[in-house]
Structure 1
Amino acid sequence: MKRKLLWMGFVFMIFTGIILAGCSHTNAPKSDAGQKTGDDSKPVSNSLLDAKWNDVLAQAKGQTVNMYMWGGSDSINRYIDEWVAPRLKKEADVTLKRVPMNDTKDIINKLLADKQAGKKDGSIDIMWINGENFKAAKDNSLLWGSFASKLPNENQYVDVKAPDVASDFGLPTDGTEAPWGKAQFVFAYDSDKLKNPPKSMKELLEWTKKNPGKFTYPAPPDFTGSAFIRHVIYEQTGGYEPYMKANVDEKTMNDKTKPAWDFLNELKPYLWREGKTYPESVAKLDQLYGNGEVWMTMSYDPSSAASQVKKGAFPKSTRTFVLEKGTLSNTHYLSIPFNSVHLAGAMAAINFLLSPDAQIAKADPANWGDFTALDPKKLSADDQKRLASIDRGEATLPIDVLASHRVPETPAAYVDEFEKEWTQNVAKK
C-alpha cells in the first residue's frame, strides 16, 4: 500500500509539473528576435514596433549590438569606435561592436546563407547599406521591419518626404532603413601637379593621353569604381534621364551604353599600368595617390580628401572638383536584418546615430566629414550654428557648388548590369 501511494504521488507530481510548465511557457514574455522576418507569408508580431520608446530603451539596456559595415576607411572606423561607441554605452547602456567587411555584398551573402539555413539567431544587428545591396536585401526578405518611423530622432530631424530619403536608388525604403548620411561623388587631385583639372570625360581622356599612367579607377564591384563608370555612361550616352526607369531592358541598354565602353577602352592603355590591372578598391587608389603614383583619386565622400590631408595621407596641395555636367549623389542608410537578436539595442543605436550631436560630429572632417542626413532647418539655432561652423578644409568644395552639380543615381537594377557589361566589354578585352 505504501509503495502504491508513493507511486501515485510521483505520477501526480509529474502531471502537475507538466501543467505548470505549459502555463509558464504560455505566459512567458516573448523574445523580440524574429518578430518581423521580412517574409510576408509568416505572421508578424509587432510588439516592439508598437512599444513606447521608453520601453524600447529599457529592453535595449545591457545589449551588445553588432554593426556590420564596410571597414575600408580609418576615419570612419575611428568615428564609430572612439566617438560613437563610448557615448552610446554611457547614454543607453548599449555596447556597439563594429564588424568590418571588405564589401557590403559580403553582408548580404551572409544573410542569404542564414535565410537558406533557417537561422533565426543571426550575428548581424545593424548593417550599413544602400543601392543594389538594399535591393538585394529587399528582394530576398532580409530586412526586419518598418522601424525607421519609430525612431524619435528620425521623426524630429529628418525630412522623410525628401525624394533622396524616401527612396534608395529608385526603390521605396518603406521604413526598413534609416538615413545615416548623404554623399556626392568628387574627384581629388594634386594642385601642384595639375593646375586645371578636367571637367568632362572628354577632357579627362585628353589629359590622360598627355600624362600616361597618372590616372586610373577602382575595378567594379568596388562601389566608387562602379560610380565612376556610371559617370562615363551618363556623359557618353546623353545624360542620366534614360536610366531613371525602374525596369531594365537589357538589349536596349547594352546597345545604348556601347559608346561608354568604347570610351573606356580608348582610355585603357593610358591608365596606370597601361590598364592591364586596376586597383581593387578605392582605398588602394588612395594609396597610389598618396605616394604620388597617380595624380588623381576619387571618392563618394566630398570631405574624404580633407580628412586624408589632415592625417597626412594626402599632400596639402590636394583639392577636389566635380564634372561640369554633375556628379552622382545619394543617401546611405542603416538597416536591421530579419534575424537580429538585439532588435531593441539596434533601434537605440540607430536612433543615437541620428542625434544632432552624432550627426554634427560625423560631419566634421576631423571625425569623418560625411554630410548629415538631418534637415538643417529642423535643427535648433545652436545646432545649426555648430553645423555651419565646421571647418571642412580647403580640399572640400562649398556646399552650394556641390548642390548645384548633383545628379541622381540610377535605379539599383541598372548597377549590376553596368558592372557585368564593364567586365565583358572592358576588363576582358
Structure 2
Amino acid sequence: MKIACAVTVSLVALTGCGTQSENKKADSPAAVAADPVTFSFYFSGSQNVKDLWDTLIPMFKKDNPEIDVQAVYLPSGTGAQPTYDRILAAKKAGKGSGSIDLYEDGINVVTQGGKDDVWETLSTDAIKNLANVEGKTMQDVNQMAIPYRSSAVVLAYNSEKVANPPKTLDELLEWIRSNPGKFAYNDPSTGGAGSSFVTTVLYNGLPEEAIHNSDPSIMSEWDKGFTVLKDLGNYVYGKGIYPKKNQGTLDLLQNGEVDMIPAWSDMALQQLNEKLLPESVKLQQITPGFNGGPTYLMVNKLSEKKEAVYQFLNFVLSPEAQEVIVNKMNGFPGIELSHMSQDVQNKFSGVADGFRAFNLGDLGNEINKRWQSEVAAQ
C-alpha cells in the first residue's frame, strides 16, 4: 500500500508538472495568435465603387493579416447623410466614433466635417505615401481628407442619333428643348451626375469664383437657374421623370429610350469596356465644364483604430493600389501621375482637362431641397 501510494503521488506530481509546462507554452506570445485589429469603413457609391473595394481590401489583407477591414457599403442615395449624422451624433453624445472609423464621400462632407471638427488632420508622419498626393489638393481640404481617386461628369450620347453633340451648356439646353423626351438626368439627391447637371445650370453665368463660395447669401443668385430647370421639366424624359441614381439614366441610354445624359466618366467608360453600353455611345465634356474632382477618404477624429486605418490608407495611396483604381474604375489616380507607370501617364495625359471642381459646402443640401420642391414637385 505504501508503494502504491508513493507511485500515485509521483504520478500526480508528474501530471501537475506536465500541465504547468503546457500552460506556460500556451500562454507564450509565440503560441497565442493575437486577434486582428478590426476597423469599420463606410463607403457609398454605385456598383463600380463596391467592386473596387471588393478587390482592394483582399489585396491589403493578404499582406496585412493582422488587420481586418469591416467594409459597409451604402448604395447611392440610401444612407450617406444618415451615416454622417451618426458620426456627429456620437461625437456630441460623448460616444466616440459611433463605430465608424473611416468614411468615403465628396467635398461637401469634407467641408461639413471640418466645421463640425469630426475629421482627423492627416500627415506623412503617419501615412508615408501621402507624399505622393499633390500638395495643393491636400491644402484645399486642410489636410483632413485623402483624394484617393478622381473623375468627371461628362455628356454621354448616342452618336448614331446625335451627329453634332452640344459643346457648351447653352447649346445643350437648346438641344434638350429641340429634342423633347430624349434627354434625362437623375434626381440630384441620388447621384452626382444629376447633381452636377443641376449645379452647372444654377451657376451658369455667375462669376467663376462662385463655385467655391459656401456663403448662404449666394442662394439668391439661383433663381434664374431654377426657372430654367422648371421649364426643362416639360422637355426631359417623360416630361419630368427623373430616374434614381447615376445608373438610372445610364440604363435609359443603354435601352435607347434617351439619346443623351450627364454621366460620370468612370462609370460610362467601365460599362463601355464591359459592353454594357453600345459602342455608339460617346463621351464629351462641355464648356463651361460639368463638375468633377476627387472622392475623399476621411478618418474619424475619435477613432480608436487610427494606426490600422493609417496602414490601410498608406496601401491605398501606393502605386500598386492606384493602378487597380485606374484599371477598374477608369478614374484618374489620386496620386500624382509621376508616381504611376508610363502607360498610366500616357493614358491620362491631358484627359483631366476641362472639368471644374465645385466646393459649395452645405449649400449642396439646400440645392437638393429646393430642387425637390420647385422642380420635381411641379
TM-score after normalising by structure 2: 0.82
Structure 1 residues 294, 413: closer, same or farther in 2, change over 3 A? same
* Percentage identity across paired residues of the two chains: 25
Aligned to 1:418: 367
Over residues 4-30 of structure 1, what are the superposed CA-to-partner deviations in whole Å (9 max), with x where a residue is unaligned? Answer: xxxxxxxxxxxxxxxxxxxxxxxxxxx
Residues 320 and 96 (structure 1 numbering): CA distance in 2 closer, same or farther, change over 3 Å? Answer: same
* 1:183 CA displacement: 2.2
> What is the rounded CA distance, in whole Å, between the counterparts of 2:39 and 2:343 in structure 1?
29
Contact 2:332/2:352 (8 A) holds in 1: no
Question: Do the aligned partners of 1:148 and 1:178 also contact (CA within 8 Å) in 2?
Answer: no
Distance 2:366 2:97 in 1: 33
The root-mean-square deviation of aligned C-alpha atoms, in Å, is 2.4
Note if 1:387 corresponds to 2:355. Answer: no
Q: Residue 412 of structure 1 aligns to which amino acid in structure 2?
A: G
Q: Cα distance, 1:239 vs. partner?
A: 4.5
Q: CA deviation at 1:246?
A: 4.6
Structure 1 residue 363: Cα displacement: 0.9
Q: Is the 8 A contact 2:187 2:244 kept in 1?
A: yes
Which residue number in structure 2 is paired with residue 233 of structure 1? 202
In structure 1, what residue type is equivalent to 2:336?
D
Measured in 2, the distance between the counterparts of 1:71 and 1:407 equals 20
Tell me, yes or no, if the aligned pair for 1:149 and 1:175 is still in contact at 8 Å. no
Per the alignment, do residues 346 and 241 of structure 1 end up closer, same or farther by CA in structure 2, a change over 3 Å counting? same
Specify every segment of 5 or more residues in structure 2 that has no aligned partner in the other structure, as ranges.
1-33
AA at the equivalent of 2:176: T
Please state whether the residue corresponding to 1:202 is helix, strand or coil.
helix
Aligned partners of 1:244 and 1:311: how far apart in 2? 36
**8 Å contact 2:107–2:296 — kept in the other structure?**
no
5+ residue gaps, structure 1, are 1-59, 168-172, 391-397
- Report matched runs for 1:2-401 at 5 Å: 62-73=36-47, 75-82=48-55, 84-93=56-65, 94-101=67-74, 102-120=78-96, 122-147=98-123, 150-155=126-131, 157-160=132-135, 162=136, 164-167=137-140, 173-222=141-190, 223-235=192-204, 237-250=205-218, 253-254=219-220, 256-275=221-240, 277-300=241-264, 302-364=265-327, 367-377=328-338, 379=339, 383-388=340-345, 399-400=349-350
Aligned AA for 1:278? Y
2-structure distance, mates of 1:360, 1:89: 17
Give the C-alpha shift of residue 330 in structure 1. 2.1
How has the CA–CA distance of structure 1 residues 61 and 182 changed in structure 2, closer, same or farther, with 3 Å as cutoff?
farther
Aligned-partner Cα distance in 2 for 1:264–1:257: 11
Q: Within 2, Cα distance between the matches of 1:239 and 1:360?
A: 37
Instruction: Provide closer, same or farther for how the CA distance between residues 261 and 329 of structure 1 changes in structure 2, counting only shifts above 3 A.
Output: same
For 1:188 and 1:227, how far apart are their aligned partners in 2?
Answer: 14
The count of residues paired between Structure 1 and Structure 2 equals: 340
Give the distance between the partners of 1:291 and 1:127, measured in 2 at CA.
34
**Larger Rg: 1 or 2?**
2
What's the offset of the Cα at 1:231? 1.0
Cα distance in 2, alignment partners of residues 313 and 290 from structure 1: 7
Which secondary structure state, in structure 2, belongs to the residue aligned with residue 187 of structure 1?
A: strand
User: Which amino acid counterpart does residue 80 of structure 2 have in structure 1?
Assistant: T
Deviations 1:371-401 (A, max 9, x none): 1111123x2xxx43142365xxxxxxx7525
- Distance (whole Å) between structure 1 residues aligned to residue 170 and residue 222 of structure 2: 16
Using the alignment, how far apart are the partners of 1:183 and 1:145 within structure 2? 24
Summarize the Cα distance change of 1:244–1:124 in structure 2 as closer, same or farther, 3 Å threshold. closer
